[in-house]
Structure 1
Amino acid sequence: MPTAHRNSLRLLQWMMAASLALPLALFLFASAMSRISTSEAADQEIQRTLDVAHEHALKVFETIDRSLAEITEVVRGMSDADIAAREKSLHERLRRVADTLPQVKSIWVFDANGHALVNSLVQPAPDIDFSDRDYFRIHMERDIGTYIGEVLTPRAPYQGSRFFSVGRRRDNEDGSFGGVIQASVLPEYFENFYAKIGREPGSFLALIRTDGSILAHFPVIDHDARFEPSGPLGRQVVANPETGGMTIRSPADGIERRMRYQRLAEYPIYVSAGLETSAIQARWISTMAQHLIFGIPATALLFGLLALAFRRTQRLQEEADRRIEAEDALRHGQRLEALGQLTGGVAHDFNNLLTVIRASVDMLRRPDLPEPRRQRYIDAISNTVNRAAKLTNQLLAFARRQTLKPEVFDVCQNVRTLSEMITTLIGSRIEITAQVPDETCLVNADAGQFETAIINMAVNARDAMDGVGRLTIAVRAVNKLPSEAITPPSPHGHVAVSVADTGVGIPPELFGRIFEPFYTTKEVGHGTGLGLSQVFGFAKQSGGEVTVTSEVGKGSTFTLYLPRVVGRHNVQSPLTEDAPSVDPTSASVLIVEDNAEVGKFAADTLTQLGCTCVLVENATHALEELAVDPGRFDLVFTDVVMPGMSGIELAEEIRRQRLDLPIVLASGYSQVLSQQGSGGFELLQKPYSAEQLARMLHKATRSRRLKRDQAPAS
C-alpha cells in the first residue's frame, strides 16, 4: 500500500510537471510556427505593397518621360533665338503640361550654357546659370537618354519644396549639344502616395537611385541619407540586380527592416517596400498573446486542480500512514499477545517436562532405590528429553527455522505406508480411506517432517470426530495452487495431500487462528496446539502451502501442497529404521564447542568410545590446533552457532585449506542452516544422545577410510 501511495503521488507530480511542460512545449512549438507564418505573411504583404508602389512609380515616370518627349518634339529644330522669340507661347504650353502632372513642380528648357530659355513657372525666364547642376552636366558629353538626378533645393530667387530632376538632352541640327529639357519632380508626391498605401505600423517605402541616393522615403527622413553601394543593400543589388529581399538596418533612420526591392524598368531607380522587424515581431507577439489569454488560465486551472489532487492525495496518504501505524501498533499488540500465549504454552509444556526430569533426578539420588525403579526413572528422563526435543522441533517447524533434510520420495508410497500406521493411531472406530493414484507423485522434501505433518493432520481429524467417523487421505497432482499470489507456482505443478474428516467442522471466524502455535479448542491436557502449526511451517519452508475448507457440522479438509519434481531420481524408501548400534572405535577428534558443559559431555562420550579428544572453545583455537599438526586428527566435531567464526565458516575454511578431515556439525537451531542448509557437511541435531553421537562418528570415519582405500597408490 505505501508503494501504491508513493506511486500515485509520483504520478501526480509527473502530471503536474506535464501540465506545465506540455503546454509550454506546445506554446514554444506554436510560437515557432507562428513566427514563421508571421514572417511569411509579412513577406507577402511587403511584396504586394512593392507591386503597387512599383506600378505607380512606373506610370509616373513613363508619363513624365512622354511629356518630355512631347516638349522635345515641340522645340526640335528651333534655335535658342527662336525659343526666346516664342517664349510666351512656350511658357503657356509648359505650364499647361506641368499643371496636368501633379508630381511635376516645373518644366525647363536650358541652352548649351545652362541658362533657362523658357520654363513653366515665370515668364520671362530668369538669367541664372544652371550649368553646375548634375542634371545639366550629365548630358553635355553624350546622349544618355532619360536621366534622374539627385534631390535638390531650389536656387534663389526660387523657393518651395525640394525636388529631383528628370531630364533629356536637346541636340542642335548638326547633332551637337544644344541644352537640356528638364522636369522638376516633387518627392513629396511619392511620399504622400506611400503614406496612403503604407498604413500598417512599421511600413516603409522608398524610391532609390542605383547609386544609393534616396529620392523619396516613407516615413519622411532627411534626403541627404543614402545607401552606400558597398553596403549590404548594394551587395545584394549586385548579386540580384532586378529584384530581391533582405533584412537591413536603414542608414536613413537606423531602424532594422525586412525589405524587398525591384528595379523600375529601364530607369536607374529601384522601388523598395518593407516592414520594421519590430512591427513584425509585434504582430507575432500579439498573435501569441491571444493564445496566452486562453492558454495561461487553462494551464493554471489544470495545474491548480492537479495541485489540489496532489495535496488531497498527500493528506490521504498521511491519513493512510497514520492508519497503517495504528494497524501496525494493533498487530504489534496482537503479536505480543500471541508471543505471550506462545511463551505461556512453551513454559507450561517445558515445566511439565522439567517436573518429570526433576522428580526423576531426585528419586535417583536416593541410596536405597531399587534397580528396577532406578531404570524406570532413567527411562523417564530419556523419554522426557525426547518429548522436549520434539516440542522444540514443532516450534521450529512453525517458525520455518528447522533444518530440513530434503530428499526425493514418492508421496503415494509414503501415504500407503502411513495409512497402516495411522489406523492403529486413531483407533478402530474411525474408517480410513486412502485414495492414492497408481502413478508416482515425486516431491523433494524432508520425508520425516512430511510423515509428521500427515500424522498431525490425522490426529487433529481424530479429535474433531471424537474418535468416531470417516477419515479420507487423498493424493493428487495439481497444476496450480488455490492462491499463487501468496506462494510462487512450481514449474511442474504441485502434489496435493488432503486429509478430510466428518467431524464437527471449524467456524469461519477461527480460520485465521487454527495454525497459531498453542492455539487449540481442546480441553486442557488433550493437546498442545502445535500439530497444525508444524504442518504450516513445514509447508511454507518446503515451498508449498496448506489450506483448509470446512463447514460446521459437516467436517473439515486440510490440504498440504508440495512442489512436484519430474524425471528420474533415486527414490528413498519410506520410514527408514534407525541404524544399528555401533562398537567402540579409536579415533582422534577435535571438538569445537563454546558451551563448556556440552563440550565436556561430548568429550566424555567420545572418550568412553575409545576416542582421543581435544576440546577448544572457538573456531580460532581450532584453526590454531590444526595449524600445528592436522594429521593427528581423524575428525572435527564443531558446534554451528559460536561467537566470532561460526561452525559452517570453520568447516569452509578447513575445506579451503584442503585438509583431508571429515567434519560433523552440531546445532539445535541456526538461521543459516534453515535458509542455506549444511553446505554438504554431516549434521547432528541437538539434543543428541551418546548413541547418536557414536553413530555419526562411525559414519564419518568410515567414509574417510573408504576414500583412502579407493585412492590410487602413489
Structure 2
Amino acid sequence: MQRAQRNSLRLLQWMMAASLALPVALFAIAATISYTSTRDIADREIERTLDVAHEHALKVFETIDRSLAELNEVVRGLSDDTIRAREPALHRRLKRLTDSLPQLKSAWIFDADGKALVNSLVSPPPELSFADRDYFYAHVDQAIGTFIGTALTPRPPYQGARFFGMSRRRDSDDGRFIGVIQASVLPEYFESFYARIGSDPGSFFAMGRTDGAMLTHFPRLDRDIRLDPTGPVGRQIAARPEHGLITIAWPSDGIERRIGYRRVAEYPIYVSAGLETSAIRARWLATIGQHLVFGLPATALLFLLLALALRRTQQIQAEAAKRREAEEALKHSQRLEALGQLTGGVAHDFNNLLTVIRASVDLLNRPQLTEERRQRYITAIADAVGRAAKLTSQLLAFARRQTLKPEVFDVGERMQSLRDMLAPLLGPAIEIAMRLPAEPCLVRADAGQFETALINMATNARDAMQGKGRITFKVEPATTVPDTLAGAGGQNLGSQSSANHGFVSVTVSDTGIGIPAARLGRIFEPFFTTKQVGHGTGLGLSQVFGFARQSGGEVTVTSEVGRGSTFSLYLPRVPPELLPQRQAPNTAPAVAGSGMSVLVVEDNIELANFAADGLTELGYSITLVDNATDALAELVLDADRFDVVFSDVVMPGMTGLDLAQAICDRGIDVPVVLTTGYSQALSQEGVTGFDLVQKPYSIEELSRILHRAARIRRVRDGAAE
C-alpha cells in the first residue's frame, strides 16, 4: 500500500518534471529548427540583395569605362596644344557627360605632367598639377587598362563631396605616355542606392578594392578604412576569391554580420551585402515569441494542474497515514485486549489445574491414607497434567509454534476411522452424515493435530446446536481456497494452489443457531467464546486456525443466524505416489533399561533429576550434564560408552538442535533424542530426522523412544558388519 502511494507520488513528480522538460525539449528543437530556417532565409535574402548590388556596380563601372574609352577616342592623335585650343568645346562635352551620369562628379583630361587640359567643372582649368594622385601616377610607367583609385578629397580650389577616380592611360601613336583621362566617381551615389534597397533593419553594404581599400560603405562611416588582406576577412576572401558567404565581426565597427561578397567581373572590386546577426536573431526571436505566446500559458497551466494534483495526493496520503495510525492504535488496543483475555484465560485454566494438583498432593501427604484414595489422588494429578498439556498444545497450535509431526495420510480413510469415536462424543441426539470421496485425498500433516482439529470443529458444531441436530462432514478435492472470511484477519491464500496439486477440503456443517456477522471476525481468537463460564475455554477454534496455517492451509467459515454454520478446513494436497507402504506393526522392546547408557543433557536441574531418577529406576545408566558444550566434549572423549543422547532443545548457548547437528557433522555414531515444550527453530525447521519427545512426557514414553532409537542403531551397525 505504502509502496503504491510512493509510486503514485513519484509518478506525479515525474509528470510535473516532464510537463516542463518535454515542452522545453520540444521548444529547444523547434527553436533550433526555426533558427536554422531563419538564417537560411536571411542567406537567401543576402544573396538576392548581393545580386542587385553586383549588377548595379557592374553597370556603373561599365558605363564609366565606356565613357572613358569614348573620350580617349575623341582626343586620340591630338596634341596638348590642339586640346587646349579646343578646350571650350571639350569642356562642354565633358559637362554633358557628367550631367547625364549621376554617379560622376567630374571628368578630366590630363597631360603628361599631371596638369588638367580640360575638365567638366571650370573652363579654362586652373594651372594645378595632379601628378601625385593615384589615378594619375598608376599609369605613368605601364599600361594597366582601367584603374580604380582610392577615396579622395577634392583639392582646392575645387570643393564638394569625396570621390574615387576611375582612369585610363593616354598613349601616343608610338606608345609613349602622354597623359590620363579620368572620371571622379561619387561614393554617395552608391550609398543612396544601398539605402533604397537595404530597408531591412541591420542591412549592410560595402564596396572595396581587392587590396582592402574601402570605396563606399553603408551605413556610412566618417573615416576611411582599409581591410587587412591578411586579416580574418582577407583570409576568408582569399580562400574563395570569386564569391562567398561569411559571418564575421566587421573591422570598421566591430558589429557581427552575415555578409555575402562577390567580385565585379574583371574589375579589382568587391561588392558586399549583408545583415547584422542581431537582426537575424531578432527575426528568429519574433517567430519564437509567437510560439511562446501559446506554449507558455499551456505549459504553466499543465504544470499548475499537476502541482495541485500532487499537493492533493499528498494531502490524501497524509490523511490516509493518519487513519492508518489510528487503525494501528485501535489494533494495538485490540491486541492488548486479546492478550489480556489470553493471559486471563490461561491463568484461570492453569489455576484450576494447579488447584487440583496442589489439593491432591496435600491429601497424599496425610497419614493413614487408604490405597484406594491414594490411587484416586494420583489419577487426579495425572488427569490435571494431561489437561494442562492439552491446553499448552492448543495455545502453541494457535500461535503456529507447535512442533508438528507431518505424515502422508488419506483424509477420507481417517474420517471414516473417526466416525465411531465422534458418535459417542457428539451424543445420540446428533445425526452424523459423512460424504467421502471415492478417490484418495492425500495430505501431508500432523495426523494427531488433524484429529484434534476435527474434534474441535465437531464439538463446536454440537454446542451451537445445543446437543440436537445434524452435522455433515464432507471431504472433497479443491483447486482453490474461496475468498471468504477467515479468522484473525490473517493472510488468505485466495486463488493460490498448493504446488499445482490443489487442496483437500474438509467441511463441517451444522444446523445450529449460526454466528452473528459482528462476531465472525473474532471466532478464531484464543479464549473468545460465546458459551457460559465453565462451558468452554475458547481455544478449540484457535487450535484449528493455528494447525491450518502451520500446515500451509487455511480455515474459512460461512454462517447465517438461524441457519447454521459451515467451517471448511483446507490442507495442501499431495500426489498419491507419496503415500508410504503399509508396514507390519512395530513390536516395541521392553521399557526396562537393561544397563543401557544414556547421556542426559538438560539445563533445568529439577527436570534433569526427575528424568535421571526415573530412568535409573528402570535400569538405565545415566550420565547427566547441564549444557550442550560439555555433552559434546563427553562424546568426543569416548562416544562408545553411550547408547543414546537425550537432550533438551532450548538451552543457553548451544541448543540441543545444534548439538545434534554437531554430532552428525563429526561422524559420532550415537542416536539423538530431543525433547522440548516449545521451540521456534523446531516449529519452523522441524526435527530434521531426530526423534522428538514432547514435554510433558512420562518415563514410560521416554523409555520406549530411547529403546527404539538404540535398537535402530544396533540394527544399522549389524547390517554394516
CA–CA distance in 2 between the matches of 1:418 and 1:55? 119
Q: Structure 1 pair 50/708, CA: closer, same or farther in 2 (3 Å)?
A: same
CA–CA distance in 2 between the matches of 1:590 and 1:197? 119
Shift of 1:669: 0.9
Alignment of 1:119 onto 2:127: no
Shift of 1:578: 11
Alignment of 1:381 onto 2:342: no
Of 562, 580, 596, the residue aligned with 1:587 is: 596
CA–CA distance in 1 between the matches of 2:254 and 2:229? 17
Shift of 1:275: 2.3
Per-residue CA deviations over 1:14-39 (Å, capped at 9, x if unaligned) read: 23333333333333333333332332
Mapping of 1:528-567 within 5 angstroms? 528-566=537-575
Shift of 1:547: 1.0
Instruction: Kindly provide the amino acid, as one letter, of the partner of residue 613 in structure 1.
Output: I
Instruction: Name which of structure 1's ranges 314-323 and 238-247 shifts more when overlaid on structure 2.
Output: 314-323
Instruction: Kindly provide the amino acid, as one letter, of the partner of residue 6 in structure 1.
Output: R
Shift of 1:390: 1.0
CA–CA distance in 2 between the matches of 1:506 and 1:275? 93
Shift of 1:108: 1.3
CA–CA distance in 2 between the matches of 1:656 and 1:395? 35
Partner SS for 1:316: helix
Instruction: Report the equivalent of 2:249.
Output: 249
TM-score, length basis structure 1: 0.94
Per-residue CA deviations over 1:224-264 (Å, capped at 9, x if unaligned) read: 32222222332322322221112222222222222221121
CA contact (8 A) 2:431 2:469 kept: yes
Q: Structure 1 pair 471/579, CA: closer, same or farther in 2 (3 Å)?
A: farther
CA–CA distance in 1 between the matches of 2:460 and 2:544? 11
Instruction: Report the equivalent of 1:22.
Output: 22
Instruction: Report the equivalent of 2:338.
Output: 338
Per-residue CA deviations over 1:8-65 (Å, capped at 9, x if unaligned) read: 3333332333333333333333333333233223322322322222222222222222
Alignment of 1:486 onto 2:495: no
Mapping of 1:8-407 within 5 angstroms? 8-221=8-221, 223-407=223-407
CA–CA distance in 1 between the matches of 2:373 and 2:379? 10
CA–CA distance in 2 between the matches of 1:163 and 1:646? 116
CA–CA distance in 1 between the matches of 2:128 and 2:662? 127
Instruction: Report the equivalent of 1:663.
Output: 672
Shift of 1:201: 3.1
CA–CA distance in 2 between the matches of 1:588 and 1:127? 154
Alignment of 1:700 onto 2:709: yes
Of 668, 682, 686, the residue aligned with 2:691 is: 682
Partner SS for 1:63: helix
CA contact (8 A) 1:38 1:280 kept: yes
Instruction: Kindly provide the amino acid, as one letter, of the partner of residue 680 in structure 1.
Output: G
Instruction: Kindly provide the amino acid, as one letter, of the partner of residue 349 in structure 2.
Output: D
CA–CA distance in 2 between the matches of 1:578 and 1:544? 35
Instruction: Kindly provide the amino acid, as one letter, of the partner of residue 158 in structure 1.
Output: Y
Partner SS for 1:568: helix
Instruction: Name which of structure 1's ranges 330-339 and 638-647 shifts more when overlaid on structure 2.
Output: 638-647
Instruction: Name which of structure 1's ranges 140-149 and 492-501 shifts more when overlaid on structure 2.
Output: 140-149
CA contact (8 A) 2:589 2:707 kept: no
Shift of 1:213: 1.6
CA contact (8 A) 1:407 1:572 kept: no
Per-residue CA deviations over 1:182-218 (Å, capped at 9, x if unaligned) read: 1111112222222333333332211121122211112
The gaps in structure 2 that reach 5 residues or longer are: 485-490
Of 512, 522, 536, the residue aligned with 2:521 is: 512
**How many residues are paired up?**
711
Alignment of 1:645 onto 2:654: yes
Shift of 1:687: 0.9
Per-residue CA deviations over 1:247-289 (Å, capped at 9, x if unaligned) read: 2222222222222211212222111122223333344444445
Partner SS for 2:94: helix
Shift of 1:518: 1.5
Per-residue CA deviations over 1:433-469 (Å, capped at 9, x if unaligned) read: 2212211122222222112111211111222222222
CA contact (8 A) 1:589 1:614 kept: yes
Instruction: Kindly provide the amino acid, as one letter, of the partner of residue 92 in structure 2.
Output: E
Question: What fraction of aligned residue pairs are identical, expressed as a percent?
Answer: 66
Instruction: Kindly provide the amino acid, as one letter, of the partner of residue 611 in structure 2.
Output: A
Shift of 1:581: 5.6
The gaps in structure 1 that reach 5 residues or longer are: none
Partner SS for 2:200: coil
CA contact (8 A) 1:426 1:462 kept: yes
Instruction: Kindly provide the amino acid, as one letter, of the partner of residue 497 in structure 1.
Output: V
Shift of 1:654: 2.8
TM-score, length basis structure 2: 0.93
CA–CA distance in 2 between the matches of 1:397 and 1:443? 18
Shift of 1:176: 3.4
CA contact (8 A) 2:645 2:670 kept: yes
Q: Structure 1 pair 501/430, CA: closer, same or farther in 2 (3 Å)?
A: same
CA contact (8 A) 2:592 2:619 kept: no
CA RMSD of aligned residues (A): 2.4
CA–CA distance in 1 between the matches of 2:590 and 2:640? 28
Alignment of 1:502 onto 2:511: yes
CA–CA distance in 1 between the matches of 2:687 and 2:438? 35
